[in-house]
RNA sequence: CGGGGUGUGGCGAAGCUUGGUAUCGCGCAUGGUUCGGGUCCAUGAGGCCGCGGGUUCGAAUCCCGCCACUCCGACCA
């Protein structure tokens, strides 16, 4: 099967080398390119189009819930960054600094934003006076810079695109509700748009965001059973407000400190998408985010009428609101088939002379490889139906991977053994002590992923120290 | 940041041990051919051999330094 071999030799099999497979997909599906600066990546048009679709979905959801977009500066004066102690300690090691303007040294150096809490707080300290000013529900789409030591396409860039929401509320209850609502928005995006099942939960104190009182997370499981944090949402209490002198006068004319949240989701989720759905033929894109949902390919294009028939299908699908492309290039049928498989296009719509006689076309699904013949009269309805089926199929497959590789464990040794032999999420009870997290990291190589919202009672005691258990917790090896 | 690997036209590689300015496949361009799963043939274009320094009459090749990518750790939402 020389031809069969040739189709897959461009991409390393994931069973052979998952990391190589991943970078092969990123570069060969034309999502990303490397640059001459370490850790800085180019999102090529096809990769950026995925981000644009994620933006579109998320932005609509944010606006539905009353959020507005703003644009903050890229540079943060050092003095501003240092106002909140925990925050600066968390981020200082990975800040990049602007020290010169032109040839002149700056009076105070400026940090290229690693995140913008301090900028929002400084701004709010100027504009917030009354309870009538609250809540403030802000979001910005931007890039941030963190001087990471190691980098990988999508998963860890030094500069990456994201959105960061920042909100300010009169009460703790309201702020916490906001934090939970936004986490649910991320979960909705993952499950209903990206076809990625998630585990919703809370981070331990060790793993929470620098300066946060609470951090919520959605945790995803990749095809290699490693964990990826898909999005996070933080409740800050009034710590930042106090550090930055944000206060408002309440209805009783008393001065109060407002409560703050922030939440973010980045292009990292695209890495998650790739590692959740991809296969040995390349990228597999969930239909609701795919830049191209269907590609029309004329077969035996030189034959009379074929091209016109294909163009007809293209126009009909376009009119039906499908993101559709037609490939009338001179490449052979086999080349085109392999190409669009590698690029993860959910449906391939083929039409040739034999189909034309029978008034049908052939539709091939990327997720399963299954081919169906569809009467031309039913084109639009079938494409819409198949796109939904592909979404559901991808979700179910990923959900099965998550369910099949989440294991309870009742001792550190057992947890370690399961992780080494099978990978995935290990769930255990936990006493709540940092020391047990450190032990798990040292002895089993795992970090806590989250304390899931949906709890189970597996035992009465922490399997690491034997003290009474407070929660069930998920462990894993994370990206 | 520590340890390993890699760096040669766009991509993948050979050449390096035993120095003499470069080879192959894919891709690309043109023409023809083929077209229901990566057609075939011909002709052609394209390379400061990662960067900098050293040794030498002469360096892709030997020596030193640096950079990038990559894997494993540490670190990191």
- The token pair at A218 is 């959605």
Phi and psi dihedrals of A358, rounded to 5?
Answer: -90, 5
Gap from A36 CA to B66 C1', Å: 15
Report pLDDT digits (tens) over A312-361: 999 999 999 999 999 999 899 999 999 999 999 999 999 999 999 999 99
Q: Say if residues A56 and A290 touch (Cβ distance below 8 Å).
A: no
The DSSP string of A32-74 is EEE-SSTT-EEE-HHHHHHHHHHHHHHHHHHHHTT-EE----S
Q: What is the pLDDT of residue A26?
A: 93
| Percent of residues, chain A, with pLDDT higher than 90 | 86
Gap from A4 CA to B17 C1', Å: 39
DSSP A469: P
Q: Please provide the average confidence, as pLDDT, over all residues in chain A.
A: 94
Beta-strand runs (E) in A299-359: 324-326, 347-351
CA nearest to nucleotide B51 C1': residue: A36
Distance CA A416, CA A430 (A): 15
Question: Is the C-beta atom of A299 closer than 7 angstroms to strand B?
Answer: yes
Question: Is the C-beta atom of A93 closer than 7 angstroms to strand B?
Answer: yes
DSSP A9: T
3-state secondary structure of A307: helix
Question: Is the C-beta atom of A94 closer than 7 angstroms to strand B?
Answer: yes
| Mean pLDDT within A250-266 | 97
Q: What is the pLDDT of residue A9?
A: 54
Question: Is the C-beta atom of A39 closer than 7 angstroms to strand B?
Answer: yes
Gap from A304 CA to B33 C1', Å: 19
- Residue A4's pLDDT band, with cuts at 50, 70 and 90, is very low
Report pLDDT digits (tens) over A233-244: 999 999 999 999
Question: Is the C-beta atom of A23 closer than 7 angstroms to strand B?
Answer: yes
The DSSP string of A394-423 is HHHHHHHHHHHTEEE-SSHHHHHHHHHHT-
Question: Is the C-beta atom of A341 closer than 7 angstroms to strand B?
Answer: yes
The nucleotide minimizing the C1' distance to residue A357's CA is B36
**Residue closest to A186 by CA, chosen among A138, A230, A141, A136:** A230
| Mean pLDDT within A113-119 | 95
Question: Is the C-beta atom of A30 closer than 7 angstroms to strand B?
Answer: no
Distance CA A445, CA A420 (A): 9
Question: Is the C-beta atom of A5 closer than 7 angstroms to strand B?
Answer: no
Distance CA A97, CA A109 (A): 7
A10-277 CATH fold: BirA Bifunctional Protein; domain 2 (3.30.930)
Report pLDDT digits (tens) over A388-405: 999 999 999 999 999 999
Q: Is A113 left (phi over 0), alpha (psi -120 to 50) or beta?
A: beta
Q: What is the pLDDT of residue A159?
A: 92
Question: Is the C-beta atom of A349 closer than 7 angstroms to strand B?
Answer: no
Gap from A70 CA to B17 C1', Å: 63
Q: Is A224 exposed, middle or buried (0-12, 13-18, 19+ CB in 10 A)?
A: middle
- The token pair at A375 is 């009467």
Q: Say if residues A68 and A74 touch (Cβ distance below 8 Å).
A: no
Q: What is the ipTM of this complex?
A: 0.90
- The alpha carbon dihedral of A125, A130, A132, A134 has a sign of positive
In this model, does residue A6 exceed pLDDT 50?
A: no
Residue A358 CA, distance from chain mean position: 43
- The alpha carbon dihedral of A305, A306, A309, A311 has a sign of negative
The nucleotide minimizing the C1' distance to residue A300's CA is B35
Q: Where in chain A is the domain with CATH 3.30.110.30?
A: 406-476
CA nearest to nucleotide B74 C1': residue: A149
Q: Which of residues 261-280 of A touch strand B (CB under 7 A)?
A: 264, 266
Report pLDDT digits (tens) over A81-110: 999 888 888 888 889 999 888 888 899 999
Q: Which of residues 169-228 of A touch strand B (CB under 7 A)?
A: 207, 209-210
- Based on its alpha-carbon atoms, the radius of gyration of chain A, rounded to whole angstroms, reads 25
Q: Any idea which of A1-5, A347-351, A372-376, A429-433 has the lowest mean pLDDT?
A: A1-5
In this model, does residue A7 exceed pLDDT 60?
A: no
Tell which strand B nucleotides have any atom below 7 Å from a protein Cβ: 1, 33-39, 67-77
Report pLDDT digits (tens) over A193-219: 999 999 999 999 999 998 899 999 999
Q: Say if residues A219 and A228 touch (Cβ distance below 8 Å).
A: yes
Gap from A255 CA to B14 C1', Å: 76
The DSSP H or E segment spanning A386 is: helix A379-404
Q: Which of residues 376-435 of A touch strand B (CB under 7 A)?
A: none
Q: Where in chain A is the domain with CATH 3.30.930.10?
A: 10-277
- Residue A8's pLDDT band, with cuts at 50, 70 and 90, is very low
Q: What is the pLDDT of residue A299?
A: 94
Q: Which of residues 228-247 of A touch strand B (CB under 7 A)?
A: 229, 232
Q: Say if residues A165 and A62 touch (Cβ distance below 8 Å).
A: yes
Q: Say if residues A121 and A242 touch (Cβ distance below 8 Å).
A: no
Q: Say if residues A309 and A357 touch (Cβ distance below 8 Å).
A: no
Question: Is the C-beta atom of A143 closer than 7 angstroms to strand B?
Answer: no
CATH number of A294-386: 3.40.50.1000, 3.40.50.970, 3.40.50.800, 3.40.190.10?
A: 3.40.50.800
- Residue A5's pLDDT band, with cuts at 50, 70 and 90, is very low
Question: Is the C-beta atom of A142 closer than 7 angstroms to strand B?
Answer: no
Question: Is the C-beta atom of A355 closer than 7 angstroms to strand B?
Answer: yes
Report pLDDT digits (tens) over A25-79: 999 899 998 887 888 899 999 999 999 999 999 999 999 999 999 999 999 999 9
**Preceding amide of A135 cis, omega within 30:** yes
Question: Is the C-beta atom of A333 closer than 7 angstroms to strand B?
Answer: yes
The DSSP string of A233-249 is EEEEETHHHHHTT--EE
CATH number of A406-476: 3.40.50.970, 3.40.640.10, 3.40.190.10, 3.30.110.30?
A: 3.30.110.30
Question: Is the C-beta atom of A353 closer than 7 angstroms to strand B?
Answer: yes
Rounded to the nearest 10 degrees, how much is the dihedral formed by the CA atoms of A438, A444, A450, A456? Answer: -110
Distance CA A41, CA A55 (A): 19
Q: What is the pLDDT of residue A2?
A: 30
Gap from A199 CA to B54 C1', Å: 58
The DSSP H or E segment spanning A75 is: strand A75-77
The nucleotide minimizing the C1' distance to residue A364's CA is B37
């Amino acid at each position: 099967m020389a031809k069969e071999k040739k189709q897959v030799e461009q991409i390393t099999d994931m069973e052979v080398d998952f990391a190589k497979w991943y970078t092969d997909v990123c570069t060969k599906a034309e999502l990303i390119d490397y640059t001459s600066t370490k850790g800085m990546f180019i999102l090529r048009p096809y990769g950026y189009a995925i981000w644009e679709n994620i933006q579109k979905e998320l932005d609509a959801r944010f606006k539905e819930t009353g959020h507005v977009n703003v644009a903050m500066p890229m540079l943060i004066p050092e003095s501003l960054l240092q106002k909140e102690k925990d925050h600066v300690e968390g981020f200082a090691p990975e800040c990049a600094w602007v020290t010169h303007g032109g040839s002149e040294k700056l009076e105070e150096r400026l940090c290229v934003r690693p995140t913008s809490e301090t900028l929002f707080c400084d701004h709010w300290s100027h504009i917030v006076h009354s309870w009538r000013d609250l809540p403030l529900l802000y979001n910005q789409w931007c890039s941030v810079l963190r001087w990471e030591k190691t980098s990988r396409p999508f998963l860890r860039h030094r500069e990456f695109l994201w959105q960061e929401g920042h909100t300010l509320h009169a009460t703790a209850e309201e702020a916490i509700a906001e934090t939970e609502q936004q986490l649910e928005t991320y979960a909705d995006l993952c499950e209903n748009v990206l076809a990625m099942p998630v585990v919703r939960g809370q981070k331990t104190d060790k793993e929470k965001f620098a300066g946060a009182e609470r951090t919520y997370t959605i945790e995803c499981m990749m095809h290699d059973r490693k964990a990826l944090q898909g999005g996070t949402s933080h409740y800050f209490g009034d710590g930042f407000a106090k550090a930055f002198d944000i206060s408002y006068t309440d209805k009783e004319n008393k001065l109060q400190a407002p409560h703050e949240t922030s939440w973010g989701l980045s292009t990292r989720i695209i890495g998650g998408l790739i590692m959740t759905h991809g296969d040995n033929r390349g990228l597999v894109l969930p239909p609701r985010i795919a830049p191209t949902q269907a590609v029309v390919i004329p077969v035996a294009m030189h034959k009379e009428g074929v091209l016109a028939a294909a163009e007809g299908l293209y126009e009909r699908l376009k009119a039906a609101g499908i993101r559709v492309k037609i490939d009338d290039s001179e490449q052979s049928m086999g080349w085109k088939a392999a190409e669009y498989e590698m690029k993860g296009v959910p449906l391939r719509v083929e039409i040739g002379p034999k189909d034309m006689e029978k008034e049908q076309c052939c539709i091939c699904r990327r997720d399963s490889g299954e081919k169906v013949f569809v009467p031309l009269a039913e084109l639009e309805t079938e494409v819409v139906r198949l796109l939904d089926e592909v979404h559901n199929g991808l979700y179910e497959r990923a959900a099965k991977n998550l369910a099949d590789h989440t294991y309870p464990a009742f001792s550190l040794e057992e947890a370690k053994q399961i992780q080494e032999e099978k990978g995935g999420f290990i769930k255990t009870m936990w006493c709540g002590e940092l020391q047990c997290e450190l032990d798990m990291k040292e002895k089993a190589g795992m970090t806590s992923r989250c304390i899931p919202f949906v709890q189970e009672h597996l035992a009465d005691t922490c399997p690491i120290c034997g003290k009474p258990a407070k929660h069930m917790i998920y462990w894993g090896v994370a990206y």
